[in-house]
Amino acid sequence: MQHVIDISSDRLRLEEGRWQPLARRLQTAGLGAIVVALAIGAFGLESLLRAYVMNLCYYVSIALGALFFVLLQHLTRAGWSVVVRRLAELFTTAFPLLALLAAPAVLLILTGGLLGFPAAVHQVYPWTDAQYVAKEPLLQAKAPYLNAGFFAVRLAVYFAAWVGLSAWLLSRSLEQDRTGDPAITRGLGKWSAPAMYLFALTLTFFAFDVIMSLAPSWYSTIFGVYYFAGAMLSFCALLALTVHLLQRAGYMVRAVSVEHMHDVGKLVFAFVVFWSYIAFSQYMLIWYGNIPEETAWYAVRQTGGWIALSLLLLFGHFMLPFLMLISRAPKRRLQVLAGLACYVLVIHWLDIYYLVMPPYYFKLSDPGTAPFDLLGLLLAGLLAVGMGALLAGYVLRRMAMHPLIPERDPRLTESLAFTNI
């Protein structure tokens, strides 16, 4: 019954000549979309800034999911995932570009806004507005933490940590491609444990700083975990989608089998449930406690057009994917799984939209003070396409430079032979 999995005939490298032009076109198109968004955004600077921050958080979350995945596989000495681990490593190469994309927003906050931006910055991050802070004792109490200078320093630290971690993980893995040295695997396993600490703290405080502080009087201890759940979910979805696209183009057809994708599908399912668990915990406790400074955050999301988005998330982010993924069949049919992955990526985008886009100021008695912002939706959509294409092109370039699987990983044989029960 023993059999041989021979992947010598598999195509495991993207040819540079074939893929670099596509990557260039993607980057050009992405830049174009961003420029168009910036131009339209001149009509609504607050919407523009929110949409920009929102998409930044979205793409950072996917890259963070990839980073976590790689660390986790090393930490647990996972065997099954070796054939897809390189893809995750390549996703994390997006961090330098993400840092670059984050820079203008951070700069804007640091300088207190340029070119008529102050009002918009103050609307989006009220703690930057000295006059408003002077009126709010709660914000004064947080001023040692929520101030522009410290904010910029913290973001610089987060991105430096992520760029450094991802570069180290990829370079060690590529080093093993050359030498086949099992000690590299051992070293990665050993150091990924402390790296997890760094990851957990940077992710949490990134979520606190960039998203939670949009509503500076609101707080939730679970918020970092909430952001993490979405990050891992969207990464797993993107992984399934990428494998499908690569296999359609004729790559890694034998190396990655339906068994591996079944497992990726299980992870998507697991994180759909985990996200729901965390989202429910946060909502239920705040709903039940009913403390004004906490419920205000949900109240605005149940006002005006935002209630539709809340319900959409309840059904679309939990019930629908839960029912679609619960049985075995869709996880083992790659086309179906890829379709579901696209859906999950969109719904996670809406989740981040739900976190970032609703305004902070509103009166419960007057829902008109928190209107659903159509311009914001348009800008967010444009920026999603723009940043997505830019990042995809950037990552595709790096994908074309390296093998698609860690070719000499000592656990590759185990991974290739992997089967589910």
Question: Restricting to residues 115-134, which ones interact with other proteins according to CB under 8 A?
Answer: none
Tell which positions 222-281 bind other proteins, by CB under 8 A: 222-225, 273, 277-278, 280-281
In angstroms, the CA 235 to CA 232 distance is 5
Nearer to other proteins, 242 or 415 (CB): 415
Indicate the residue among 249 and 374 with the shorter CB distance to other proteins.
249
> How far is residue 417 CA from its own chain's centroid?
31
Total chain residues near other proteins (CB under 8 A): 75
Residue type, 204: T
Q: How far is the CB of 417 from other proteins (least distance, A)?
A: 4
Among candidates 38, 45, 51, which has minimal Cα distance to 357?
Answer: 51
Least distance between other proteins and beta carbon 408 (Å)? 5
Say if residues 148 and 109 touch (Cβ distance below 8 Å): yes
The answer to the question of residue 180 lying near other proteins (CB under 8 A) is: yes
Closest CB 207 distance from other proteins, rounded Å = 11
Nearest approach, Cβ of residue 384 and other proteins (Å) = 28
Mask of contacts with other proteins, 3-42, x by CB under 8 A?
xxxxxx-x-x------------------------------
Other C-beta atoms lying within 10 Å of the C-beta of residue 1: 2
Q: Write the DSSP symbol of residue 210.
A: I
In whole angstroms, the minimum distance from the beta carbon of 140 to other proteins comes to: 8
Q: Does residue number 182 form part of the binding site for other proteins (CB under 8 A)?
A: yes
Separation between Cα atoms, residue 74 and residue 170, nearest integer Å: 12
Rounded Cα distance, 353 and 347, in Å: 9
Task: Tell me, rounded to whole angstroms, the distance of Cα 24 from its chain centroid.
Answer: 23
Check binding of 164 to other proteins (CB under 8 A).
no
Candidate residues 107, 138, 308, 311; the one interacting with other proteins per rule CB under 8 A: 138
- Long-range contacts (CB closer than 8 Å, 24 or more residues apart) made by 107-115: 107/152, 108/49, 109/148, 109/151, 109/152, 110/148, 110/149, 110/151, 110/152, 112/148
Q: Is 135 in the site for other proteins (CB under 8 A)?
A: no
Binding to other proteins by residue 412, rule CB under 8 A?
Answer: yes
Smallest separation (angstroms) from other proteins to the CB of 149: 17
Is 239 in contact with 87 (CB distance < 8 Å)?
A: yes
DSSP state of 80: T
Residues 72-111 that bind other proteins (CB under 8 A): 76-77, 79-80
- Of 35 and 311, the one with the shorter C-beta distance to other proteins is 311
Binding window for other proteins (CB under 8 A); candidates: 136-144, 167-175, 240-248, 345-353: 136-144
CB of 4 to other proteins, least distance (A): 5
Interface residue with other proteins, options 43, 150, 168, 287 (CB under 8 A): 287
288 is a site residue for other proteins (CB under 8 A)? yes
Judging by beta carbons within 10 Å of its beta carbon (0-12, 13-18, 19+), is residue 31 exposed, middle or buried? Answer: middle
d(CA 301, CA 286): 13
Is the Cβ of residue 245 or residue 284 nearer to other proteins in the bound state? 284
Question: Which parts of 322-381 interact with other proteins (CB under 8 A)?
Answer: 326-328
| Spatial distance between the Cα atoms of 301 and 304, rounded to a whole number of angstroms | 8
